[in-house]
Structure 1
Amino acid sequence: MTQAGTVHAIEIENQKLVWNEVPDPEPTDGEVIVDVRAAALNRADILQRRGHYPPPPGAPAYPGLECAGVISAVGGGVTGHQPGDRVCALLAGGGYAERVAVPAGQLLPVPAGISLTEAATLPEAACTVWSNVVDLARLRAGETFLVHGGSGGIGTFAIQLGKALGATVAVTARAHKHDRLTELGADRVIDYTTADFVSEVGGADVILDIIGAKYLARNIAALNPDGRIAIIGMQGGSTAELNLGALTAKRGTITATTLRARPLADKARIVRQVREQVWPLVESGAIRPVVDESIPLAQAQRAHHRMEAGDHLGKIVLTVSRP
């Protein structure tokens, strides 16, 4: 519990997550202060803890790429938001804290019928999947959509968005998670430890890939003509040989992006699109937040251990208790 006049956050010390007192943030022009009630884990948080993914200039040093809570202060020039509003937010960092400053363009209202804990799981996944799968890869109804890493926060969201858009969704995941992913809408679930997804999927129009180098050649082999690969992670390495002949023969397209370092205006554009196009799907129940476990923020190290074990399904959420 926070005492009057103090704010706490999770800081990184020698690759450990430590509960410390930190400076109380103040809103600059165009920002609001959010009293955090919940923050979701992302793979990038683990990379940052290990020293491999530093925050961009100006972002808080402590991790956390999304949160949900209540606005407590509003900076100059901000319209449409006021203290007391329930919001969730896309962050460049700082979500593992009791309070965080957020550019107003990166705020989303908490969808109707969704708790703050559930809302914390949505901004990063929704903005990542929408910007890569729809904005860049142009997934359309009737196409086949292959999602690698289908059991994580990105994957469980991508399955549901793909189905809502009218695609046939194929997913790679370990066998013990298949039933749950089928419940979320996956049409075909492939155990990547025992089966070859290239032959199993039978051709994909859009591939959402978190693996990177290890899957590059097989992703190209799995493409339908005019297929698109959207790379958003490099869990399988960052360097691979690209067979341009194979890619050209498919008339294929590869995009590779991160969300964290995009300019503020681009993030605000993506957030607007998500609010207009995705939030109605959440409020209708077509897309449901998938919470694996809620863990107190002060126990963030335990939450990281759970993610590193790889047995979770959906998002792990850190919660903040308040008076």
Structure 2
Amino acid sequence: MRFIDLPTFGGPEVMQLQEMDKPTPGSDEVLIRVAAAGVNRPDIVQRQGNYPAPPGASPVLGLEVAGEIVAVGEKVGRWQVGDQVCALTNGGGYAEYAVAPEGQCLPIPANLSLIEAAALPEAFFTVWTNVFDRAGLKQGEVILIHGGSSGIGTAAIQLARSFGARVFATAGTEDKCTACVALGAERAINYREENFVSVVREATDDRGADVILDMVGGSYINSNIRVAAKDGRIVNIAYLAGAKVEVNMMPVMLKRLTLTGSTLRARSPEVKSAIAKALLDKVWPLIEAGTICPQIAAQFPLDQVIDAHKLLESGTITGKVILTL
């Protein structure tokens, strides 16, 4: 099969289209003929040498795919050869064939193509486990989503809005802010021109945000503490602007804040399977009803993966980048 090799760490140009034997599924895994694969920030960080694959995981880039199952392990009971699925992989998505644990696979929503479905797993698994499981977002609460135009952000806006939250988002251009509002944000804040702490506090009668989803870090860490409501929950899923800052912990104590975060890739198959079940029960009906829709900014064939990474790194897009095979 063709796959994208990473012979060394560095910029996008280090990636190479090569050939290798297709993988063999384990006893509880399925082998998927990949039709499309999502491109995500963790892929970029891994390519740069800062996010190694967990022990036992494929070193090949790619954490989400959609396609047709062509082989199943001996213990697989839910899926059969010929089923079409999208899947959260443990690596290996940038290839013509990829394996995934059966519990991390989900059926293709009836109204989506395979390409559209490839944009679902990484973003929706991440948002569900962090915003709803970890932060416990409830109907009527206020959520502030940083990076609202990203793949994660566009999923978070739609999910939070669908479950009855008041949604605020930050983005870096007026076009991105307009896109966030179109997806369901009550207010999108251009962080280059406005102070999101002031905007959110004013819009909530000085109450602040109950939940904050942050992938920026850096100076946002202290700003998040300032804008958080009493009993607020701040969830970090990345630190694009840095993870080390000096923090005054007194407001954390006085406002009874929860500071938390998580990564998804290193979590157990059992945890990921539980997330998949929650998505199937609670989110897939909303997707099939057209209430929620994955946002795809661009598609590239597999052999143009370098251009795909450059576009994602440019920060100019709204939504996901997809590789097609």
Structure 1 and Structure 2 fold alike (TM over 0.5): yes
The one of 5, 28, 34 equivalent to 1:11 is: 5
The one of 244, 256, 263 equivalent to 1:258 is: 263
Q: In terms of mean alpha carbon deviation, does 20-29 or 36-45 score higher?
A: 20-29
For residues 197-212 of structure 1, the aligned pairs below 5 Å read 197-202=196-201, 203-212=208-217
Give the Cα separation in 2 of the matches to 1:92 and 1:148: 26
Tell me if the contact between 2:110 and 2:288 (Cα under 8 Å) persists in the aligned partners. yes
Give the Cα separation in 2 of the matches to 1:121 and 1:199: 33
**In the TM superposition, what is the alpha-carbon distance from 1:96 to its structure 2 partner?**
0.5
The one of 142, 158, 161 equivalent to 2:159 is: 161
Equivalent residues, number: 314
The one of 258, 277, 284 equivalent to 1:272 is: 277
Give the Cα separation in 2 of the matches to 1:214 and 1:101: 39
Task: Mark the runs of 5 or more structure 2 residues left unpaired by the alignment.
Answer: 202-207
Give the Cα separation in 1 of the matches to 2:63 and 2:217: 21
**In the TM superposition, what is the alpha-carbon distance from 1:101 to its structure 2 partner?**
1.0
TM-score by length of 1: 0.95
Q: In terms of mean alpha carbon deviation, does 146-155 or 279-288 score higher?
A: 279-288
For residues 168-183 of structure 1, the aligned pairs below 5 Å read 168-174=166-172, 175-183=174-182
Give the Cα separation in 2 of the matches to 1:265 and 1:180: 35
In the alignment, what sits opposite 1:3? none
Structure 1 moving runs of 4+ over 4 Å: none
In the alignment, what sits opposite 1:213? 218
1:44 is the counterpart of 2:38: no
TM-superposition CA deviations, 1:49-72 (whole Å, max 9, x none): 111111111111111111100000
1:187 is the counterpart of 2:192: no
Q: Percent identity?
A: 47
1:319 is the counterpart of 2:318: no
In the alignment, what sits opposite 1:310? 315
TM-score by length of 2: 0.95
Tell me if the contact between 2:300 and 2:324 (Cα under 8 Å) persists in the aligned partners. yes
Task: Mark the runs of 5 or more structure 1 residues left unpaired by the alignment.
Answer: 1-6
In the alignment, what sits opposite 1:243? 248
Opposite residue 12 of structure 1, the aligned amino acid is L
Tell me if the contact between 2:78 and 2:102 (Cα under 8 Å) persists in the aligned partners. no
For residues 124-143 of structure 1, the aligned pairs below 5 Å read 124-143=122-141
In the alignment, what sits opposite 2:205? none
